[in-house]
């Protein structure tokens, strides 16, 4: 199926299970795959037949930079739910990455990836 993708959108948010994450905040990287038919938009060159990238970015930005969640799983679910309800998507893949997680040991990043469809 056709899809639109967003890679490495970076935002600063206050999500996390530890109090210092909620107080100090951290960077979050968001990657998306938005599944929908792009054929009609591609044939007609009509923006109304696809998804406005700027509006999708703003939607994700509002969520990540908004009210904090304890879990990145909840953050990913909120992004998926909001995108599926606002845009003509069949399915969405949301990947949330914490580039510098505050956990013992060396990790370049940790995160979650979820795939959700219209119900």
- Quote the CA–CA distance of 64 and 86 in Å, as a whole number: 17
Q: Residue 8: left (phi > 0), alpha (psi -120 to 50), or beta?
A: left
Say whether 70 is catalytic.
Answer: no
The SS3 of residue 76 is: helix
CB atoms within 10 A of CB 89: 22
Q: Which of the residues 8, 55, 74, 98 is marked catalytic?
A: 98
Given 3-state DSSP classes, what are the helix, strand and coil percentages for the chain, each rounded to the nearest 5? 35, 30, 35
- Quote the CA–CA distance of 109 and 100 in Å, as a whole number: 6
Active-site positions? Answer: 98
């Amino acid at each position: 199926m056709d899809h639109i993708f967003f890679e490495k959108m970076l935002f600063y948010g206050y999500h996390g299970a530890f109090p210092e994450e909620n107080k100090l905040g951290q960077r979050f990287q968001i990657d998306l795959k938005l599944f929908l038919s792009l054929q009609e938009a591609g044939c007609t060159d009509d923006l109304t037949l696809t998804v406005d990238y700027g509006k999708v970015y703003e939607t994700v930005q509002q969520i990540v930079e908004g009210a904090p969640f304890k879990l990145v799983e909840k953050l990913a679910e909120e992004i998926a739910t909001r995108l599926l309800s606002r845009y003509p998507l069949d399915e969405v893949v949301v990947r949330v990455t914490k580039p510098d997680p505050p956990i013992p040991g060396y990790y370049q990043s940790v995160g979650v990836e979820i795939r959700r469809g219209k119900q």
